[in-house]
Structure 1
């Protein structure tokens, strides 16, 4: 006769496997619910932040009379692409201002990277008397509001003959406390063994800086380059104070030149110019996005 009674061990094993599968399925469902619970509000918040940009793009394709219609037309019935043609090639073209902004931003980025990396390396690795005191005093200058320095800088640049030149915008932007602080903190966290080995082999400080420290700091340098470019590109206050010739205006000042026959702002042209002005920032961020996120994450962990 055949014994039809199930083996007790196999029954226990089947129950354990079934319980394990159920627990895994439950955990998977919880993870999905948690993901949706975080994802949906974040997507809604992102849409709220994107609404002004959507309004800007929509208005840039409308005639001025339709810019403030109620209710708003998100999709123009007859897209007015002539606004972009007028902004680029019309009498008040933004191309000269665009070129000035690119020149100022590139020069400020190059100068900032050069001074911040060298100063950060010196404060982090070179032993000299009063190093920490000088660094703290340098950090303390950031407590002074920039607006308080506008008048002294105005007088100083006027005496030097730099007023109403792009150098009045470029030179102050080449030296920032934040850039030096970020690079100093990054170099302090780096291991010293390779540098000490290079010194034993007779390498000088600049060789150690350029061959050992600088290559490892490329993520932080990329992040600093993005921040400096964005600050320079969006700077409105400094050009407003130090520039008077419209031919030397940067893009933020150039955006104010689009007015209608009554002297009021022309919404269509202004928004078309604003759309074009944000494209370089988007391009720079997309190119350096991974390095920027990597640098910020690494700095937070350290």
Structure 2
């Protein structure tokens, strides 16, 4: 007869607390998903209802995709967020690697200047950046969106920390074999920075995906609008159309969840190992 393994009460208590906290965190998302299947009248009803009267109602999704042209906004957001995230990741990796593995005069001063930019609030640079776009005649052009945020001081800091964990002897062996510095970076260093890249990818994509103010200032053509601007269009001047608004928010959350599921292991390991010191 097999003996059943007793589960300590402390583990049961800890798991119960974690499930309770997870429930509190998931509740707004469940409410959002269920509200996207309700009419505006049902959403604003008092007392409120949790489940929609018609669980198969997808009229709100049809409205945001057809009337508000969310398909175009979605593609624009994907284009800007993916391209800018890729550029930020590459620049952060190569700058962080150089600052960690190359010895040159002024290296520490350069790193401190990069960190100093993190202390400047982003709104403080908004007007100078906008004026620069006016001078360059880049308003309502894709390059105006891509220009902002192409570098990340935090990204450089994070990837510099990860670069310290790369063995110097491994890099020296590659140099002795005749490999150039760019080849060493792409073939050896970059694959060893995967965890940091995953963590930075999630944070960068999330920031770019939710970016509202800069695209709103730069873009004037509706066919170039991003998803956050499209969500603002679902609200009328005096009355908010809550049904389509919740449907639009549900659509906008899907890529963020997909990116997190794709990089979640690297994100957790990246945050845990990001404190490697010189």
TM-score bin (small chain)? over 0.9
Are 1:243 and 2:212 matched, yes or no? no
Q: Report the counterpart of residue 151 of structure 1 in structure 2.
A: 127
Question: Deviations along 1:141-197, whole A, 9 cap, x unmatched?
Answer: 110000000000000011111122232221222211011111111001222111111
Runs of 4+ with >4 A deviation: none
**Structure 2 CA distance, aligned partners of 1:75 and 1:285?**
27
Q: Report the counterpart of residue 287 of structure 1 in structure 2.
A: 262
Question: Deviations along 1:241-283, whole A, 9 cap, x unmatched?
Answer: 22233222110111011146x7421000000010011011111
Are 1:208 and 2:208 matched, yes or no? no
Aligned mate of 1:82, from 52, 59, 64: 59
**Structure 2 CA distance, aligned partners of 1:70 and 1:301?**
54
Question: Deviations along 1:104-148, whole A, 9 cap, x unmatched?
Answer: 011101111221111111101111110001110111011000000
Aligned mate of 1:234, from 197, 205, 210: 210
**Structure 1 CA distance, aligned partners of 2:198 and 2:24?**
29
Question: Deviations along 1:52-83, whole A, 9 cap, x unmatched?
Answer: 11221121111111112222211111243111
SS in 1 for 2:8: helix
Q: Report the counterpart of residue 277 of structure 1 in structure 2.
A: 252
Q: Report the counterpart of residue 130 of structure 1 in structure 2.
A: 106
- With 121-130 and 73-82 compared, the bigger mean Cα shift is at 73-82
Aligned mate of 1:172, from 141, 148, 154: 148
Larger Rg: 1
How many residues are aligned here?
273
Instruction: Give the deviation of 1:221 after TM superposition.
Output: 1.3
**Structure 1 CA distance, aligned partners of 2:144 and 2:160?**
27
**Structure 1 CA distance, aligned partners of 2:268 and 2:20?**
23
Aligned mate of 1:253, from 229, 251, 269: 229
Q: Which runs of 5+ in 1 are unaligned?
A: 1-24
Q: TM-score, normalised by structure 2?
A: 0.92
CA RMSD for the aligned pairs? 1.8
**Structure 2 CA distance, aligned partners of 1:201 and 1:97?**
50
Are 1:298 and 2:273 matched, yes or no? yes
SS in 1 for 2:274: helix
**Structure 2 CA distance, aligned partners of 1:241 and 1:150?**
10
Q: TM-score, normalised by structure 1?
A: 0.85
**Structure 2 CA distance, aligned partners of 1:76 and 1:239?**
35
Q: Report the counterpart of residue 266 of structure 1 in structure 2.
A: 241
- With 95-104 and 163-172 compared, the bigger mean Cα shift is at 163-172
